[in-house]
């Protein structure tokens, strides 16, 4: 094992303009928000974002102008409603929206994690989402070679970088995600590079006490960055809950056309005049 | 009729009633009504159901809901974690019995739209997306669609985009499945030879005619159309206890 | 949840003559040996056994005349050498041996666990094992629908019963496997019925304290039987180590043509005259 | 030449030498020599290798080996568990660098047989089976075959059954890979245009001629054929400490 402990700046250098990214967590839970704010601060451009059910993580990057394309199963703010920047830019044609469905997106990650060019799934037949996916080239109808059953082959999704916020890791990249895992382990295995931001660094000795608690072994992790409160305002199980008030503040800013002020205050941390 | 029961609570109860004991049931994102419905079912007529949360907990104690249906606090005292990809595998094996899904538009055949108003490549309204709809609707034995705004803009002659498959010509899968629609006005099913939407029951205080007027296609009434069963006060109290902040009412604004 | 706590006798009734079975564990680790001995005592017949790398579990059933067909990646006794009953009966043509390779067997279980009729794998090309698998109908060369890459589709393997020995479970079938999992979770998801024998019953309350430790949730388990020392002479991590002396005793009995006496002593527990 | 080093120890050291630092390496079943080789490599020239055990532990402290290579005591102080199906996924991604595999027969092209002596449907000797060979040989950048009995019965003109693929016409995959054979007499590779087995080094006390006499086909000697490097005493001591019972010698009886 060798140390992959990295500074915030070095870790964000793994993300090139135009990269295909996915993030850990789901909606308002354990998204790597501070890393995302750093991507905004660094002015990353033309990113393609892909995930099953993201929320503020995607919308913030979209709102800050970092994103060219989005592919999700659903992108909204749960009971608070639509994702404001996603909706606005998508309707204006300022971003390209390729809607998927949760299972094909998960299956695409799984295919890449398994080292397969594609993976079959059921369902999808009769949905216009299948039609547009066939046009895009991400899904194809096939017949199972044994049963002849109609299946949908989903093309592997191999993100350039998967960014995951976790509770704990050692300096070598042995990572402990606590509570719900979502598809984080699958995403990490699928991606070319894996950046993990953590609430807390622990020693390898501590990791060795409960190997069954390690969710990502070091050899699939490229960078570990210590970022306490790194998921805020999303939750980080065992550390803090979602700050739903902050999320509503975000939505109000977007609704009132004061999103730039939100960015200044909460992302760039510029003094307001 | 008992004291007037609020519509969200009626809907929760109607959704709970669609679950049978021993069913394996999943809810997804943004699903306060399904979470409440599943919780009510498990504490009443379906104590042995397998409750799989979108937050990944199995058979958690749902003592409270949150604005996010993935909030890890929904996993309190779970017996296990079960990831969505595992639940989807279960669905592919035919072992997920009931799923709850939303709809921004729904047509007479049960096709739902959660993708776009207007054209997909030139959206008038960019909707959030269908999540698991396109995957689960053809392969899940029972799909319960909830719709909090029963109007002719939601119950439409033809959906702008087929996100979730109803009994359409291109989806063989759905033809075997049961689709139930629970709206703020009534409960609809497709239990007729043409597999078109019909009114199964009308919520207290509403009428068949009111549903027809608010539906954008010619909706039938089932021969045995009746009134939607009303929850007892202890169930209403249970719903209130789990959702003291009234999160369930957020979709009704 | 409802109780699936079962007597040993009831649990073995889930195994019909002629059934397709797989077992948890690998070689001498956590095989469900006491359940297997019970299958022998009940005189089960014509079983088909499938697993990646079994050892004494398969050889005992074969030696006791319970088995018609075997499909494994490898069946041997690790450094102790060949599996004596397997070798003898296979060479005499008394059992049908369909050799697989580890990955296609795992992939077959995974396909069934995922609800897919088949799953693609890499490798295999150029091996005579692929040729015979194509004759048997368990593997087929395909081309990936997106890349055209040559792949091997492996037909799903859905055992009638998977029997798994675990450390702990509650009466409802929430199971904790400690230490290496092998493919046990995959096998349980793949099988039509799942029987779990456990060292120790614990309460659902205890299970609820650490849901992340639950490896099989109740709704995929059909029977739980309390069987302390249920893996003996194989190991059960955190409970007991492999009794390598006993395994050598077994091999000596098979070598010296005293296997019937071994069965009397260690399986039927008949008094020797 | 130093003091005489026992053949199993020489083989362990030769196998360890095939691992480079930062390699991700897996061993399988019935593998005392690979376990020892990986342990030696990790404690000497490859401290940063990723060690994936067939017992599922990652980078465990191997303080002792057991008759089973899956013994969970091999996972002492592991940093993680990593299942075989996960390791195989890694192999499919091309990220498993080195694998150790056995052989009951091997031919000049590196094809191995672990399946049967005689015919597959009428075995003279039913062998245990190839385990991961057929899967891993075409897709793993470096495959190290160990063979403890270098005789013309093992190093054969043609294997009775191709379990693991060498540089055969039907396996494109292998053509890119490196195959190394470590026997009780020497180390062989295929680093020549015809991709046929050649002697890379001879263990101390043995000769090229001895290897040729004990090989069932016309084996070449590499132009730079030399003597197999001998481990230092501290490495021999390390091997002894990890295997005090001499389990590594079991394959040599």
Do residues A239 and A70 touch, judged by C-beta distance below 8 A? no
Residue range D78-103, pLDDT digits in tens: 999 999 999 999 999 999 999 999 99
Distance in Å from the first CA to the final CA of chain D = 26
- Helix boundaries (H) for chain D: 7-17, 32-43, 84-92, 133-136, 208-213, 233-242
Helix axes C56-63, C244-255, angle to 10 degrees: 30
CA of D48: which chain A residue's CA is closest?
Answer: A1
The chain-wide mean pLDDT, for chain C, equals 96
Do residues D148 and D211 touch, judged by C-beta distance below 8 A? no
- Which is it for the CA torsion A205, A208, A213, A214, positive or negative? positive
152-191 of A, contacting C, C-beta below 8 A: 153, 155, 178-179
Domains, in order of start, for chain A: 8-102+159-266 (3.40.1080.10), 118-155 (no CATH)
Closest CA to A21 of A169, A187, A226: A187
Percent of chain A whose predicted confidence (pLDDT) is above 90:
96
ipTM above 0.95, yes or no: yes
Does the distance separating the beta carbons of D135 and C121 come in below 8 Å?
A: yes
Closest CA to B106 of B165, B146, B155, B162: B155
In eight-state DSSP terms, residue B174 is G
Q: Tell me the C-alpha to C-alpha distance, in Å, between residue C260 and each of C7, C34, C39, C55, C68.
A: 27, 18, 16, 19, 19
Does the distance separating the beta carbons of D128 and C75 come in below 8 Å?
A: yes
Structure tokens at D77: 């102080």
Q: What are phi and psi of C78, to 5 degrees?
A: 50, -135
Q: Tell me the C-alpha to C-alpha distance, in Å, between residue B120 and each of A59, B109, B162, C22, C202.
A: 20, 21, 11, 48, 54
Do residues C27 and C15 touch, judged by C-beta distance below 8 A? no
Q: Tell me the C-alpha to C-alpha distance, in Å, between residue A253 and each of A41, A91, A244, B18.
A: 19, 19, 14, 40
| Position B69 pLDDT exceeds 80 | yes
Give the C-alpha separation, D154 to D215, whole Å: 8
Residue range B151-179, pLDDT digits in tens: 999 999 999 999 999 998 888 777 889 99
Do residues B209 and B123 touch, judged by C-beta distance below 8 A? no
Residue range C34-49, pLDDT digits in tens: 999 999 999 999 999 9
Tell me, yes or no, if B123 comes closer than 8 A to chain A by beta carbon.
Answer: yes
Q: What is the mean pLDDT of residues A131-135?
A: 93
Chains contacting C (3+ CB pairs below 8 angstroms)? A, B, D
Q: Please, which pLDDT band fits residue C269 given cuts at 50, 70 and 90?
A: confident
| Radius of gyration from C-alpha coordinates of chain D | 17
Residue range A56-99, pLDDT digits in tens: 999 999 999 999 999 999 999 999 999 999 999 999 999 999 88
Query: For strand B186-189 and strand B178-183, is the pairing parallel, antiparallel, or unpaired?
Result: antiparallel
The CB density around residue D191, as the number of other CB atoms within 10 Å, is 14
Nearby residues of B83 by Cβ (< 8 Å), 6 or more positions away: A180, A181, A182, A183, B56
Residue range C139-176, pLDDT digits in tens: 999 999 999 999 999 999 999 999 999 999 999 999 99
CA atoms within 13 A on the CB side of C250: 27
Q: Tell me the C-alpha to C-alpha distance, in Å, between residue D192 and each of D175, D189, D197.
A: 12, 9, 8
Does the distance separating the beta carbons of C116 and B79 come in below 8 Å?
A: no
Query: For strand D98-102 and strand D105-106, is the pairing parallel, antiparallel, or unpaired?
Result: unpaired
Give the C-alpha separation, A139 to A153, whole Å: 6
| Position A117 pLDDT exceeds 80 | yes
Q: Can you tell me whether residue A51 is helix, strand or coil?
A: strand
Closest CA to A8 of A34, A30, A46, A47: A34
The chain-wide mean pLDDT, for chain A, equals 96
Chains contacting B (3+ CB pairs below 8 angstroms)? A, C
- Let me know the angle formed at the C-alpha of A220 by A216 and A225, rounded to the nearest 5 degrees: 75
Closest CA to B130 of A129, A85, A31: A129
Q: What pLDDT is attached to residue A272?
A: 54
Beta bridge partners of B183: B147
Do residues B37 and B15 touch, judged by C-beta distance below 8 A? yes
Structure tokens at D135: 């899967």
Give the C-alpha separation, B247 to B228, whole Å: 23
Do residues B162 and B174 touch, judged by C-beta distance below 8 A? no
Does the distance separating the beta carbons of A211 and D93 come in below 8 Å?
A: no
Q: Do chains D and B touch (3 or more CB pairs under 8 A)?
A: no
Tell me, yes or no, if D9 comes closer than 8 A to chain C by beta carbon.
Answer: no
Q: Can you tell me whether residue B179 is helix, strand or coil?
A: strand
| Residue D64: burial class (beta carbons within 10 Å; 0-12, 13-18, 19+) | middle
To the nearest whole angstrom, how far is the Cα of A39 from the nearest Cα of chain C?
32
For residue A180, the chain B residues in CB contact (below 8 A) are 55-57, 70, 72, 75, 81, 83
Phi-psi region of A254 (alpha: psi -120 to 50; beta: other; left: phi over 0): alpha
Q: Tell me the C-alpha to C-alpha distance, in Å, between residue D41 and each of D208, D224, D233.
A: 27, 24, 15
Q: What pLDDT is attached to residue B2?
A: 47
Domains, in order of start, for chain B: 1-96+230-247 (3.40.1080.10), 99-228 (3.40.1080.10)
Q: What pLDDT is attached to residue B50?
A: 98
Q: What is the mean pLDDT of residues B203-232?
A: 97
Distance in Å from the first CA to the final CA of chain C = 49
Give the C-alpha separation, C268 to C42, whole Å: 10
Structure tokens at C64: 């006791």
Q: Please, which pLDDT band fits residue C215 given cuts at 50, 70 and 90?
A: very high
Q: b or e along A88-109 (b: 16 or more beta carbons within 10 Å of the residue's beta carbon)?
A: bbbbeeebebbbbbbbbbbbbb
Give the C-alpha separation, D26 to D11, whole Å: 17
To the nearest whole angstrom, how far is the Cα of C91 from the nearest Cα of chain D?
6
Give the C-alpha separation, C222 to A137, whole Å: 42
Q: What is the mean pLDDT of residues C63-91?
A: 97
With a cut of 70, list the residues of chain D below it in pLDDT: 1-3
Q: What pLDDT is attached to residue B4?
A: 84
Tell me, yes or no, if D173 comes closer than 8 A to chain C by beta carbon.
Answer: yes
Q: What pLDDT is attached to residue D2?
A: 47
Which of C124, C235, C247 lies closest to D135 in CB terms? Answer: C124
Give the C-alpha separation, A49 to A72, whole Å: 8
Q: What is the mean pLDDT of residues A218-239?
A: 98
| Residue D162: burial class (beta carbons within 10 Å; 0-12, 13-18, 19+) | buried
Tell me, yes or no, if A184 comes closer than 8 A to chain B by beta carbon.
Answer: no
Q: What are phi and psi of B35, to 5 degrees?
A: -60, -45
| Position C271 pLDDT exceeds 80 | no
Closest CA to D98 of D54, D137, D57, D43: D137
| Position C100 pLDDT exceeds 90 | no
Does the distance separating the beta carbons of D78 and A208 come in below 8 Å?
A: yes
Q: What is the mean pLDDT of residues B118-135?
A: 93
- Which is it for the CA torsion C189, C195, C197, C200, positive or negative? positive
Residue range B106-122, pLDDT digits in tens: 999 999 999 999 999 88
Q: How many CB pairs under 8 A join C and D?
A: 185
Q: What is the mean pLDDT of residues C204-233?
A: 98
28-87 of A, contacting B, C-beta below 8 A: 28-29, 52-53, 72-76, 78-80, 82-83, 86-87
Structure tokens at C29: 């680790």
Does the distance separating the beta carbons of B24 and C212 come in below 8 Å?
A: no
Nearby residues of D125 by Cβ (< 8 Å), 6 or more positions away: C87, C91, D116, D117, D118
Task: Give me the DSSP letters along A241-265.
Answer: ---HHHHHHHHHHHHTT-HHHHIII
| Position A273 pLDDT exceeds 70 | no
| Position B17 pLDDT exceeds 50 | yes
Do residues A21 and A60 touch, judged by C-beta distance below 8 A? no
Query: For strand B98-102 and strand B142-147, is the pairing parallel, antiparallel, or unpaired?
Result: parallel
User: Tokens 């799909």 map to which residue?
Assistant: B143
Three-state SS for B116-141 is EEEECCEEEEECCCCCCHHHHCCCCC
Percent of chain C whose predicted confidence (pLDDT) is above 90:
96
Does the distance separating the beta carbons of A179 and C117 come in below 8 Å?
A: no
| Position B1 pLDDT exceeds 60 | no
Give the C-alpha separation, A102 to C7, whole Å: 42
Tell me, yes or no, if C168 comes closer than 8 A to chain D by beta carbon.
Answer: no
Do residues D144 and D101 touch, judged by C-beta distance below 8 A? yes
Query: For strand B122-126 and strand B116-119, is the pairing parallel, antiparallel, or unpaired?
Result: antiparallel
Give the C-alpha separation, A10 to A14, whole Å: 7
For residue D81, the chain A residues in CB contact (below 8 A) are 211-212, 214
Does the distance separating the beta carbons of B92 and C114 come in below 8 Å?
A: yes
Q: What is the mean pLDDT of residues B215-235?
A: 97
Q: What pLDDT is attached to residue A271?
A: 63
Q: What is the mean pLDDT of residues A92-107?
A: 94
């Amino acid at each position: 094992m060798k140390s992959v402990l990295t500074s915030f700046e070095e870790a964000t250098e793994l993300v090139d303009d135009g990269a295909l990214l996915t993030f850990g967590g789901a909606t308002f839970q354990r998204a790597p928000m501070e890393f995302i704010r750093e991507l905004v601060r660094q002015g990353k451009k033309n990113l393609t974002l892909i995930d099953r059910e993201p929320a503020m993580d995607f919308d913030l990057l979209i709102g800050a102008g970092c994103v060219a394309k989005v592919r999700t199963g659903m992108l909204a703010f749960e009971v608070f409603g639509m994702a404001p920047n996603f909706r606005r830019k998508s309707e204006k044609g300022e971003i390209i929206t390729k809607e998927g469905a949760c299972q094909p997106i998960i299956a695409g990650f799984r295919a890449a994690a398994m080292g397969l060019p594609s993976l079959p799934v059921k369902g999808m037949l009769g949905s216009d989402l299948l039609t547009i996916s066939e046009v895009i080239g991400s899904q194809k109808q096939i017949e199972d070679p044994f049963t002849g059953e109609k299946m949908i082959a989903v093309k592997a999704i191999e993100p350039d970088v998967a960014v995951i916020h976790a509770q704990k890791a050692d300096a070598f990249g042995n990572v402990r995600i606590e509570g719900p895992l979502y598809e984080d382990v699958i995403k990490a295995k699928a991606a070319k590079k894996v950046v993990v931001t953590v609430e807390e660094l622990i020693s390898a000795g501590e990791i060795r006490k409960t190997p069954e608690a390690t969710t990502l072994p070091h050899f699939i992790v490229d960078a570990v960055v210590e970022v306490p409160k790194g998921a805020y305002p999303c939750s980080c199980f065992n550390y803090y809950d979602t700050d739903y008030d902050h999320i509503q503040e975000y939505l109000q800013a977007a609704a009132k056309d004061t999103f730039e002020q939100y960015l200044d205050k909460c992302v760039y941390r510029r003094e307001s005049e | 009729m008992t004291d007037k029961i609020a519509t969200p609570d009626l809907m929760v109860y109607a959704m709970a009633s669609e679950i049978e004991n021993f069913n394996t049931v999943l809810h997804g994102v943004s699903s306060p009504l399904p979470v409440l419905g599943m919780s009510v079912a498990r504490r009443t007529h379906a104590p042995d159901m397998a409750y799989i949360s979108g937050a990944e907990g199995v058979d958690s104690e749902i003592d409270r809901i949150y604005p996010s249906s993935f909030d890890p606090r929904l996993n309190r005292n779970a017996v296990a974690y079960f990831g969505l990809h595992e639940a989807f595998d279960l669905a592919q094996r035919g072992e997920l019995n009931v799923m709850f899904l939303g709809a921004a538009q729904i047509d007479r055949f049960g096709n739902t739209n959660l993708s776009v108003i207007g054209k997909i490549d030139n959206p008038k309204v960019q909707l959030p997306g269908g999540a698991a709809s396109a995957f689960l609707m053809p392969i899940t034995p029972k799909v319960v669609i909830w719709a909090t705004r029963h109007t002719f803009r939601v119950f439409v002659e033809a959906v702008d985009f087929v996100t979730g498959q109803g009994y359409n010509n291109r989806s063989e899968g759905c033809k075997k499945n049961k689709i139930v629609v629970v709206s703020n006005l009534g409960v609809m099913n497709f239990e007729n030879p043409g597999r078109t939407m019909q009114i199964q029951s009308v919520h207290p205080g509403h009428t068949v005619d009111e549903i027809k007027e608010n539906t954008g296609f010619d909706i039938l009434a089932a021969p045995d159309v009746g009134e939607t069963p009303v929850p007892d006060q202890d169930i209403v109290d249970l719903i209130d206890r789990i959702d003291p902040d009234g999160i369930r009412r957020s979709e009704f604004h």
